[in-house]
Amino acid sequence: MGCFFSKKSRRKSPKKDSALTDGDGSATGNDLPETNNTALGSDSNQEAPKQYSWDKREKVDPKDFMLTGLKNETVGRLPGKLNGQQFVIQDCENCNIYVFDHSAIITIDDCVNCRIMLGPVKGSVFFRDCKDIKCVVACQQFRTRDCKKMDVFLCCATQPIIESSTGMKFGCYQYYYPELAFHFKDAGLSIFNNNWSNIHDFTPVSGETNWSLLPEGAVFLEYMPLPDPESEFKSVRISTEASRSIVPMTKGGRRTESEESCLFVFFAGDYTTANARKLIDEVTTKGFVLIQTKEVSMRLEDVNRVFQNNAESLTEWITKGPVVALELNGDGVVEACRSIANEVFNGTKLFVSESKNTSSRDVDNFFNFADMQMGL
């Protein structure tokens, strides 16, 4: 080791040490050997320890990242308070909880009769031993265990899983606040990848149904109220209108009224998301229904398999980034979509089913590919 860790080894003998003190045991400057003065000088000029990035991180209080043991309160976190950290909610009763920020993982344990709004979660949201819960959740993974009577407005990138849970009802996510689009991006979630109705029951019971879909005409505010005007969240501008929802409202697994569907695909560009939203507005105004959406990356072999006869003209477009695909439904939807493509999106990189005779095949080819790509 270096000299800073071995000064004692430089002392010749106990007699040498005793020469450094006078009779009353105190050291005298005149008695110090010159060599030791040099050594002390080198100690005083020793460099400060190096500072690393993790040494400079601001210390956090764990209490800022949990809500526990609350009753009859309106609580939560404002934008910018979590910034991607983990969060815990536990042992709360009859509370309105609003988390207006993105986070890494959220666990909710032993809560009863609560209304919970969670901003986008990069990883998993896990409810355990909860009862009579109404919630709005956007996440990568959603799971419940030992829960009863939950109404969930959900945006989930993967297949939601329930385990030993009963009375579970699901609807499509619908919510807006000004920072929400940025929070989705920070959490690495796509607003177009929502499997809210594709539930997997890990513990099914023969002859019983542990989950179902909320009524299509469910009034959101009857499930999830706005924050109290006197609360700390009064400054957050919230909208629960389906037309303003960051996540597109999809019909999901509900039965369709028409046998005619159309595949509409936007290839990567500067305005892909805006174009998809505009298309949704155009078709829903005409009375057609949005069934599902997906945002996925494609390789050359994927294009050949999905688009078949049209693949050659589309291969160069997949190199720019992921595609956004929409399934639209209703009598006459193919003709309407082709008309919208020509009138509204002329010059935009896109694909639209050519006829209702091939449109069902187009839809199946693309969304089967997308589900396999995402491991669904």
Nearest to 263 by CA among 173, 350, 372, 157: 350
Same-domain check for residues 91 and 217: yes
Do the beta carbons of residue 303 and residue 317 sit within 8 Å?
no
**Looking at the domain assignment, is residue 90 inside a domain?**
yes
**Looking at the domain assignment, is residue 237 inside a domain?**
no
Do the beta carbons of residue 108 and residue 86 sit within 8 Å?
no
Note the Cα 69 to chain centre separation in Å: 26
Which residue ranges are tagged as binding site? 123-124, 140-143
Give percent above pLDDT 70 in the chain.
84
Tell me what pLDDT residue 15 has.
43
Length of the chain: 376
pLDDT in tens, 166-201: 999 999 999 999 999 999 999 999 999 999 999 999
Alpha-carbon distance values, 113 to 36, 110, 148, 198, 227 (Å): 73, 10, 11, 25, 16
**Looking at the domain assignment, is residue 93 inside a domain?**
yes
Which of 180, 205, 222 finishes a domain?
222
Same-domain check for residues 211 and 82: yes
- Number of structural domains (the chain) is 2
Same-domain check for residues 281 and 367: yes
Report how far residue 122's alpha carbon sits from residue 105's, in angstroms, rounded to the nearest whole number.
7
**Please, which pLDDT band fits residue 212 given cuts at 50, 70 and 90?**
very high
Which of 199, 222, 245 finishes a domain?
222
Same-domain check for residues 350 and 206: no
Which residue ranges are tagged as binding site for GTP? 123-124, 140-143
- CATH number at 191 reads 2.160.20.70
Phi-psi region of 20 (alpha: psi -120 to 50; beta: other; left: phi over 0): alpha
Same-domain check for residues 263 and 183: no
If 0-12 CB within 10 Å is exposed, 13-18 middle and 19+ buried, where does residue 141 land?
Answer: middle
pLDDT in tens, 132-142: 999 999 999 99
Tell me what pLDDT residue 66 has.
95
Same-domain check for residues 72 and 216: yes
Provide the whole-model pTM.
0.83
Same-domain check for residues 152 and 214: yes
Which of 206, 222, 238 finishes a domain?
222
**Looking at the domain assignment, is residue 175 inside a domain?**
yes
Same-domain check for residues 272 and 164: no
Tell me what pLDDT residue 48 has.
66
Amino acid at 298: M
Domain housing 141 = 62-222
Amino acid at 269: G
Handedness of CA 179, 184, 186, 187 (dihedral sign): positive
3 state SS of 73: coil
- CATH number at 369 reads 3.30.70.141
Same-domain check for residues 199 and 284: no
Same-domain check for residues 177 and 272: no
**Looking at the domain assignment, is residue 242 inside a domain?**
no
